[in-house]
Structure 1
Amino acid sequence: MKKLFFLSGLLFTVLTAKAENQKRYSTEDYIDLWKITAIEQMNQYQIPASITLAQGILESANGNSRLATEGNNHFGIKCHKNWDGGRIYEDDDLKNECFRSYANASQSYEDHSLFLTGRSRYENLFTLSITDYKGWAKGLKAAGYATNPKYAHLLIDIIEKYDLAKYDIMPYLPADSKKEDLSIEVDEPAIEFDKPSQLHEEKLDELEIEASRHEIKVNKYRTRYVKVQKGDTYYRIAKEFELGLWQLYKYNDLGKRDVLKEGEIIYLDPKRNRSKRGNNVYICHKEMSLRDVAQVEGIKLKKLLKYNFGNKADEVLPAGTKVILR
C-alpha cells in the first residue's frame, strides 16, 4: 500500500511539473508578443491593428489553444478548397474540421491579412476608416467571418478593455525594431485619441492625393493598366480606381506576392485567356518567368501554365525561351 501511495505521489509530481513548464499566456502577454506584427500588417494591408490583435486573442485563446500551439493558427482560418498547405483537424461547427497549419505564427498573421484582402465578401471593410474598429468588428460578423452571433461585441469588448485602439495610430516600425521602442511609445500618458485620429485621416488624404498620379494606359488588347510608382500599395491603387483589393489580386494573378515593384504593370481589368491569332509565341528577351510574361502580354497566368505544361509560374526562363500564348 505504501508503495502504491509513493507511485501515485511521484506521478502527481511529474504531471504538476509538466503543467508548470507549459506556460499559459495571459492577454497582456499575447499583446506584448504580437503588437509589432499587428502594426506591420496594418501598414501593409490597411487592416486595423486593434482588430487583428483582438481576433488573435479571441480565436487563439491568447495563443493557448490547440490550433495555436500545434498548428500556429491564431485566427481559426479553415482550409477551404484552394488551401494546399499544412492541415490540422479540430471540432468546430462540425466534428473534425480542417484548419490551416503554419510553420510559424507569423505566417498565420500574414495569411490572415491575405485572407481578408483576397475575398470579395470583405471588400466593404476597406472603405471604412482604419480607426473605426467598431465598424470593422461589425463588418467582419456581417461578412460571415464567425458564426458566433456575439462575435462583433466580443471583439469590441477586447479592444476597449485592453485599449488596443491606440495601436491603430501607431507609426510604421521595421521588423527589426526593438520591442522596447514600441513600449515606450505605447506607454506615453495622456494620449487624446480624437486628435491623433483626425491627423491620421488627414495623412491618409495626403497619401491618396499623392497616389492619384497614375496614367492609365491600354495594351494591344485594350486592357487598362498602370505602372507602379514609388510608395504605391495595392490599397492605394484600388482606392484610386474604385476597385476592390480582391479585383487587383484576381486581375493580376496575385497570391501571396505582396510586394509591388516600381515600374511593373498592374492591370485594372481582367486579362485575356489567350493571344490573338498570328501572335502564338512570345520570345523572352531576358530571363523571365511565366508570371512576368503574363503581365507583359496581358494573358491570364493560369492559361499560360496550361499552354506551357511543365513550367511553373515563378520558374526562371532563360533569354530566348519561347512561351506559347494560345
Structure 2
Amino acid sequence: MRMNYRHFFTLFLLGVFLVSCGSKSNVVTTKRKSKSRTTKQSPMVVKENDKVTTTSTPRSADNVANYVEDFKDVAMQEMKLYKIPASITLAQGILESGSGSGRLAVEANNHFGIKCHTGWTGGRIYHDDDEDQECFRTYNNANYSYRDHSLFLKDRPRYAGLFKLDEDDYKGWAKGLKTAGYATDKRYPQKLISLIERYELYKYDNITLGKTVDQKPRIIEKVQESTMPELVKQHTVVKGESLYSISKKYSTTVEHIKKLNNLKSNDLSIGQVLIVK
C-alpha cells in the first residue's frame, strides 16, 4: 500500500524530534525544604534621633531586687488599706517565698507560707514543712496572696498589738511578729530588718505615708513590750491534745479559745499555735 506523502513527512519530523531529545540527560529540579526554627522575639525598638533604644525594662541580676520591683506597688496598696508597713510585707514575701522562686510561690502563688488552717475553703497544696505534707493555701494570682496576708494579720487577735505601732516602725513590726508567734525562727526579726535595710525597703513606707522618699527611718533601740497586748499567752498544740484539755490547763473555756483564734471547729493540728489568754 502506498504511504501518503504528508503522513510520511509527519513521521519523519517526529523521529528527528525524538532523536534530538534523547541526546540530552534528564534534569530533575527539587526544592529543599527549609527547617522550621523557633526564634526568640527581640524586644521592640524605637528609633529616636538616629539612636536606637529598647522599650523593655532591663532586669537586675539580683533576684531580690527584681522581686521588689514586681511587688512594691502591691505592698504599698496593702499598706494604704490595712496599715501594715510595705517594707515588712515585702521583706516577709522575699523571705517566705525565696524571692518568688520557692515551690509554694511558683505552683500555688502563695508568697507567705500561709497554711490552710481551719475554715479555709479555697485551693490546697501539700508541702513538707514542720510536718510532712502539710496543707497550704493556693491562689489564682500572687496579688491575692498579698491580700490574704493582710487579712491574716488584721483578723487575728494575736497580732492586734502590732497595729498599735507606728506604720513606719518596721523594727517594732519585725520583733512583734516573732513575739506574736508568726514564725518559730529565733532570728526571724533580724532577717526581716536586714532585708529592709539592705534593699532600703523603708522607702516604700515613706512613699505611702507621703514622706520624702529617701528619709531615713527612725532608730528604735528597743521595742516596748507594752505595745503587745497583755492577754497574749500562747500554747503550741502537741499530739493527743484537744481544745477541751487545753482550756482546762489554762482555766478558760473552749469557746473563749475558739473566739481568740477565729476557729470555726474544734479541729487542731500538731504544732498549731493558739492564743489561750
The normalised TM-score by structure 1 is 0.46
Amino acid corresponding to residue 42 of structure 1 in structure 2: M
Q: What is the match of residue 63 of structure 1?
A: 100
From 60, 76, 98, the counterpart of 2:113: 76
Amino acid corresponding to residue 124 of structure 1 in structure 2: G
From 177, 202, 208, the counterpart of 1:171: 208
Distance, in Å, in 1 between the alignment partners of 2:114 and 2:62 is: 21
From 90, 94, 111, the counterpart of 2:131: 94
Q: What is the match of residue 34 of structure 1?
A: 71
Q: Which runs of 5+ in 2 are unaligned?
A: 1-60, 219-263, 265-277
Deviation of the 1:111 alpha carbon: 0.2
Residues 1:119 and 2:142 aligned together? no
Distance, in Å, in 1 between the alignment partners of 2:167 and 2:102 is: 28
For 1:94-136, what per-residue CA distance to the aligned partner results, in whole angstroms no more than 9, with x for missing partners? 1111110000100000000000000000000000000100000
Q: 3-state DSSP class of the match of 2:208?
A: coil
Q: What is the match of residue 148 of structure 1?
A: 185
Note closer, same or farther for the CA distance 1:134–1:93 as it changes in structure 2 (3 Å cut): same
Q: 3-state DSSP class of the match of 2:118?
A: coil
| Preserved CA contact (<8 Å) 2:178 2:189 | yes
Q: What is the match of residue 192 of structure 1?
A: 215
Q: Which runs of 5+ in 1 are unaligned?
A: 1-23, 174-184, 198-301, 303-326
Moved over 2 A (4+): 191-194
Distance, in Å, in 2 between the alignment partners of 1:25 and 1:94 is: 32
Q: 3-state DSSP class of the match of 1:81?
A: coil
| Preserved CA contact (<8 Å) 2:97 2:113 | yes
Amino acid corresponding to residue 187 of structure 2 in structure 1: K
Report % sequence identity. 56
| Preserved CA contact (<8 Å) 1:25 1:62 | no
**Structure in which a larger fraction of residues adopt helix:** 1
For 1:180-213, what per-residue CA distance to the aligned partner results, in whole angstroms no more than 9, with x for missing partners? xxxxx99x7xx3336xx7xxxxxxxxxxxxxxxx
Q: What is the match of residue 86 of structure 2?
A: 49
| Preserved CA contact (<8 Å) 2:206 2:215 | no
Distance, in Å, in 2 between the alignment partners of 1:160 and 1:118 is: 28
Q: What is the match of residue 13 of structure 2?
A: none
Amino acid corresponding to residue 215 of structure 2 in structure 1: E
For 1:41-61, what per-residue CA distance to the aligned partner results, in whole angstroms no more than 9, with x for missing partners? 000000000000000000000
For 1:285-311, what per-residue CA distance to the aligned partner results, in whole angstroms no more than 9, with x for missing partners? xxxxxxxxxxxxxxxxx9xxxxxxxxx
Q: What is the match of residue 134 of structure 1?
A: 171
Amino acid corresponding to residue 156 of structure 1 in structure 2: I
Deviation of the 1:149 alpha carbon: 1.1
Distance, in Å, in 2 between the alignment partners of 1:116 and 1:192 is: 27
Q: 3-state DSSP class of the match of 2:129?
A: coil
| Preserved CA contact (<8 Å) 1:25 1:64 | no
Amino acid corresponding to residue 155 of structure 1 in structure 2: L
For 1:200-227, what per-residue CA distance to the aligned partner results, in whole angstroms no more than 9, with x for missing partners? xxxxxxxxxxxxxxxxxxxxxxxxxxxx
Report the count of equivalent residues.
159
| Preserved CA contact (<8 Å) 1:45 1:113 | yes
Deviation of the 1:147 alpha carbon: 1.1
Deviation of the 1:25 alpha carbon: 7.2
Deviation of the 1:74 alpha carbon: 0.2
Q: What is the match of residue 313 of structure 1?
A: none
Amino acid corresponding to residue 117 of structure 1 in structure 2: K
Question: Which of the pair has more CA radius of gyration?
Answer: 2
Note closer, same or farther for the CA distance 1:69–1:151 as it changes in structure 2 (3 Å cut): same
For 1:64-116, what per-residue CA distance to the aligned partner results, in whole angstroms no more than 9, with x for missing partners? 00000000000000000111100111111111111100001000000000000
Distance, in Å, in 1 between the alignment partners of 2:143 and 2:100 is: 12
Q: 3-state DSSP class of the match of 2:202?
A: helix
